[in-house]
Amino acid sequence: MLFHVRMNVNLPTSMPADEAAQLKQTEKEFSQRLQREGKWRHLWRIAGQYANVSLFDVDSVDELHALLTALPLFPYMQVEVMALCRHPSSIHEDDR
Ligand SMILES: O=C(O)CC1=CCC(=O)O1
């Protein structure tokens, strides 16, 4: 199942710089593991914003929820999810 996910990150300005850097590093390692596993298919920065657009390929909504809520930055994110299905005109066989 494919999901388009937008994540807006809002770290508190009061957070110490070393704590923010550690969180971002842990987030990076977590997301790169999921990318290598094929669960996090694409990850793009939204230009000019501390936000990303991602494509997840998971087995269920429950799995997506578990992955998103396990993100180290999750407590500081606003997350929007759109479920995707195959477009009849798509030429990409893996669009499902
Ligand atoms: O920087 C972000 O957009 C938040 C994030 C998600 C995965 C990652 O490595 O950083």
How far from the centroid of its chain's Cα atoms is residue 45's Cα? 11
Give the nearest ligand 1 atom to 77 CA. Answer: 4
CATH number at residue 15: 3.30.70.1060
Distance (Å) from CA 87 to ligand 1 centroid: 28
Which of 46, 29, 26, 27 is CA-nearest to residue 37?
29
Do the domain assignments include residue 54? Answer: yes
User: pLDDT, tens digit, for every residue of 3-62?
Assistant: 999 999 999 999 999 999 999 999 999 999 999 999 999 999 999 999 999 999 999 999
Residue 13: give the domain boundaries: 2-84
**Whole-structure pTM value:** 0.95
- Ligand 1 within 6 A of 7 CB? yes
Q: Give the whole-angstrom CA distance, residue 62 versus residue 20.
A: 28
Give the nearest ligand 1 atom to 50 CA. Answer: 3
Distance (Å) from CA 51 to ligand 1 centroid: 8
